[in-house]
Amino acid sequence: MTNKIYPCLWFDGQAKAAADYYCSIFKNSKITSENPMVVIFELNGKKFMGLNGGPQYKFSPATSFVIECETQDEIDFYWEKLGEGGVYNQCGWLDDKFGISWQIVPSILGKLMSDPSKATRVVQAFMKMTKFDIEKLVNA
Taking residues 109-121, report their average pLDDT. Answer: 93
pLDDT number for residue 1: 61
- The span from the CA of 89 to the CA of 127, in Å, is 11
- The span from the CA of 68 to the CA of 107, in Å, is 5
pLDDT of residue 10 exceeding 90: yes
Nearest to 33 by CA among 14, 13, 51, 12: 51
Q: What pTM does this model have?
A: 0.93
The model's pLDDT over 13-27, given as tens digits with 9 standing for 90+, comes to 999 999 999 999 999
* Domain annotation for the chain: domains and CATH numbers: 1-56 (3.10.180.10), 59-140 (3.10.180.10)
The model's pLDDT over 69-106, given as tens digits with 9 standing for 90+, comes to 999 999 999 999 999 999 999 999 999 999 999 999 99
